[in-house]
C-alpha cells in the first residue's frame, strides 16, 4: 500500500495548545494506522486563512483542520449559536453541552456544507481589553471596538451603544496602538501572542463569549476512506481534542501571568453583578440572531444549558 497524506491546517503558531492537540492527533493517527496515514501540520495559516482553507476542504485539497465556529458561520448559520454572548456560564457546562446531543447535532449539520466534524476544540473564553477601564456596559458607549467581521459580534457591540469596527486580525495591533480603535475582544491566547496587552491599558476578565473551534475533515475526502479508517480518524480527533482542552486551560494561566508580569496592563476581574449587567445589555443579540438559527435550536439549547448549570 501507499501512504495517504493528510494535510492539516492550523491558524495558530507552533507554540499553542492547538498545535499540541494537532501533534497528538498526528501521533495517534500515524501509529494506529501503522503508517498508512502521513499527517503534515501546516501552522501559521500557511495554506490560507480559516475561511479559505474551509473552502479548500470543500473540494478535498486540505483534509482536516480545527476552524473557529465564527469563521464557519458563513457556511452554516447554526454555528453562530456558539458565538452568542454569555451562552456558557463556565467551561464544565460548555464541554458537557458541546459534547452532548445538541453540540453533536450542530456538528453533523456541517455535513451539508461539505465537512465531517469530529468534535469542538477551543481557543477559550473571550476577554475584553480597552484603553480605559470598563466597569459596566455604559463605559463602552461610543467606544470604537475592534471586532471580527461577523454580523453577530457587530450587533453585540451595537447593542452596548459602542462603535464596532471590523478590522483584520493582522492589523489589530497597529490599529490599537495608533488609536484607530480603543478596545478589542479575544481569548487570552490571542491577547498574549499578538501582544495586544502592550497597547491596551486594561484587561477585563469578562468571559463574555466562548471561542470554540470545530475540528472538521473534508467530507469529500473523508467519504473516500474505509469505514474502519473513518472511525480511527474521528476517534483520534476526539482524543486529541480532550488533550487540547487540557492544554488550553493550563496555558491560559501562563498567558495571564505573563500579561500581569509585563506590567503595562491592569487586569480586572468583574463581579457577578457587573457581569449580569453586561449580559442584560448584550441580550438583544439573542432576539436578533435566534431566529436565524434552525427552528427551535436556541430554545432547546437554553433549556439544556439551564439544566446543565443547575446540576
Greatest CA separation for the chain: 64
Residue among 84, 122, 95, 90 at smallest CA distance from 213: 122
**52 contacts another protein (rule: CB under 8 A):** yes
**294 contacts another protein (rule: CB under 8 A):** no
> Whose Cβ is closer to another protein: residue 35's or residue 142's?
142
The angle formed by the CA atoms of residues 33, 36 and 38, to the nearest 5 degrees, is: 100
Q: Least distance in Å: CB of 150 to another protein?
A: 6
Return the residues of window 91-150 that contact another protein according to CB under 8 A.
112-114, 142, 144, 148-150
Size of the site for another protein (CB under 8 A): 46
> Whose Cβ is closer to another protein: residue 6's or residue 87's?
6
Q: Least distance in Å: CB of 77 to another protein?
A: 9
Question: Are the C-beta atoms of 115 and 51 separated by less than 8 Å?
Answer: no
Q: Least distance in Å: CB of 146 to another protein?
A: 10
**56 contacts another protein (rule: CB under 8 A):** yes
Return the residues of window 9-38 that contact another protein according to CB under 8 A.
none
3-state class of 311 per DSSP? coil
The span from the CA of 152 to the CA of 166, in Å, is: 12
For the stretch 107-137, what's the b/e string if a residue is b when 16 or more beta carbons lie within 10 angstroms of its beta carbon? bebbeebbbbbbbbbbbbbbbbbbeeebeeb
Task: State how beta strands 266-269 and 202-218 pair.
Answer: parallel
Class of residue 22 by CB neighbours under 10 A (exposed 0-12, middle 13-18, buried 19+): buried
Interacting stretch for another protein, rule CB under 8 A, among 15-23, 55-63, 230-238, 295-303?
Answer: 55-63
Q: Least distance in Å: CB of 85 to another protein?
A: 17
Question: Are the C-beta atoms of 240 and 25 separated by less than 8 Å?
Answer: yes
Return the residues of window 151-210 that contact another protein according to CB under 8 A.
151, 154, 163-168, 170-171, 173-175, 177-180, 198-199
Return the residues of window 59-98 that contact another protein according to CB under 8 A.
59-61, 71, 73-75
HSE of 243, CA atoms in CB hemisphere, 13 A: 18
**49 contacts another protein (rule: CB under 8 A):** yes
Residue written as grid cell 480603543: 182
> Whose Cβ is closer to another protein: residue 9's or residue 245's?
9
C-alpha cell at 95: 464541554
> Whose Cβ is closer to another protein: residue 53's or residue 93's?
53
The span from the CA of 217 to the CA of 8, in Å, is: 9
Q: Least distance in Å: CB of 114 to another protein?
A: 6
**271 contacts another protein (rule: CB under 8 A):** no
What number of H helices and E strands is found in the chain?
14, 9
Contact footprint for another protein (CB under 8 A):
7, 42, 44, 46-49, 51-52, 55-56, 58-61, 71, 73-75, 112-114, 142, 144, 148-151, 154, 163-168, 170-171, 173-175, 177-180, 198-199
Amino acid at each position: 500500500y501507499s501512504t495517504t497524506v493528510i494535510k492539516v491546517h492550523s491558524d495558530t503558531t507552533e507554540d499553542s495548545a492547538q498545535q499540541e492537540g494537532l501533534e497528538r492527533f498526528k501521533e495517534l493517527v500515524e501509529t494506529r494506522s501503522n503508517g498508512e496515514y502521513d499527517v503534515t501540520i501546516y501552522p501559521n495559516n500557511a495554506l490560507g486563512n480559516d475561511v479559505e482553507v474551509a473552502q479548500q476542504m470543500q473540494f478535498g485539497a486540505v483534509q482536516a483542520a480545527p476552524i473557529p465556529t465564527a469563521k464557519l458561520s458563513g457556511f452554516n448559520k447554526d454555528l453562530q449559536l456558539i458565538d452568542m454572548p454569555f451562552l456558557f456560564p463556565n467551561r464544565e457546562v460548555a464541554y458537557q453541552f458541546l459534547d452532548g446531543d445538541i453540540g453533536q447535532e450542530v456538528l453533523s449539520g456541517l455535513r451539508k456544507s461539505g465537512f465531517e466534524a469530529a468534535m469542538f476544540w477551543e481557543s477559550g473564553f473571550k476577554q475584553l481589553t480597552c484603553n480605559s477601564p470598563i466597569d459596566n456596559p455604559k463605559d463602552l458607549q461610543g467606544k470604537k471596538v475592534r471586532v471580527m467581521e461577523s454580523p453577530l459580534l457587530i450587533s453585540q457591540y451595537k447593542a452596548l451603544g459602542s462603535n464596532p469596527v471590523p478590522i483584520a486580525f493582522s492589523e489589530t495591533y497597529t490599529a490599537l496602538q495608533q488609536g484607530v480603535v480603543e478596545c478589542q475582544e479575544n481569548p487570552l491566547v490571542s491577547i498574549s501572542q499578538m501582544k495586544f496587552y502592550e497597547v491596551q491599558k486594561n484587561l477585563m476578565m469578562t468571559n463574555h463569549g466562548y471561542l470554540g473551534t470545530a475540528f472538521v475533515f473534508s467530507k469529500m475526502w473523508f467519504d473516500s476512506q474505509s469505514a474502519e479508517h473513518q472511525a480511527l480518524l474521528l476517534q483520534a480527533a476526539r482524543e486529541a481534542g480532550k488533550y487540547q482542552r487540557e492544554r488550553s486551560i493550563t496555558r491560559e494561566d501562563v498567558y495571564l501571568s505573563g500579561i500581569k508580569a509585563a506590567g503595562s496592563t491592569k487586569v480586572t476581574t468583574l463581579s457577578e453583578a457587573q457581569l449580569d449587567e453586561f449580559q442584560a445589555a448584550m441580550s438583544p443579540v439573542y432576539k436578533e440572531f435566534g431566529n436565524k438559527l434552525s427552528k427551535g435550536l436556541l430554545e432547546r439549547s437554553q433549556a439544556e444549558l439551564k439544566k446543565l448549570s443547575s446540576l
